[in-house]
Amino acid sequence: MTRSLVDIAYVRAGDKGDSVSVGVLAKSPEYYAQVVASVTPKTVAALYGDWVQGEIEVFPMPNIDGCLVLMHDALGGSATNTLRFDQTAKSLGTAILRLPAIAP
């Protein structure tokens, strides 16, 4: 069975203005290469569809065996005026773990 990121990574998500940031951390250093191969602007854009309106950036963080996904115009406003129930995108972030784990 194909593995997904939920098997090899943890996430922590948060907001700043209309941006959503999702830190993705490999559960073990041996999974780091798979994490950065799996989490790309393209795979993330396909996952979230029209809930992310702006640019998606992925920054590798080899020092902590992870990466930081930054999605712009992704909260439907900001935490203070979005129509979303998940006002600070903390729940939205875990959807990253649905991505298939791709071999580097």
Contact with another protein (CB under 8 A) among 4, 14, 33, 40 = 14
Q: How far is the CB of 6 from another protein (least distance, A)?
A: 10
Task: Kindly tell me the burial class for residue 28, based on how many C-beta atoms sit within 10 Å of its own C-beta (0-12, 13-18, 19 or more).
Answer: exposed
Report the site for another protein in 51-90 (rule: CB under 8 A): 51, 57, 59-64, 66, 68, 70, 72, 76-81, 83-86, 90
- The per-residue b/e assignment along 36-51, b for 16 or more CB within 10 angstroms, e otherwise, is bebbbeebbeeebeeb
The C-alpha angle 21, 49, 68, rounded to 5 degrees, equals 20
Using CB under 8 A, list all residues that contact another protein.
10-12, 14-19, 21, 23, 25, 47-51, 57, 59-64, 66, 68, 70, 72, 76-81, 83-86, 90-92, 94-95, 98
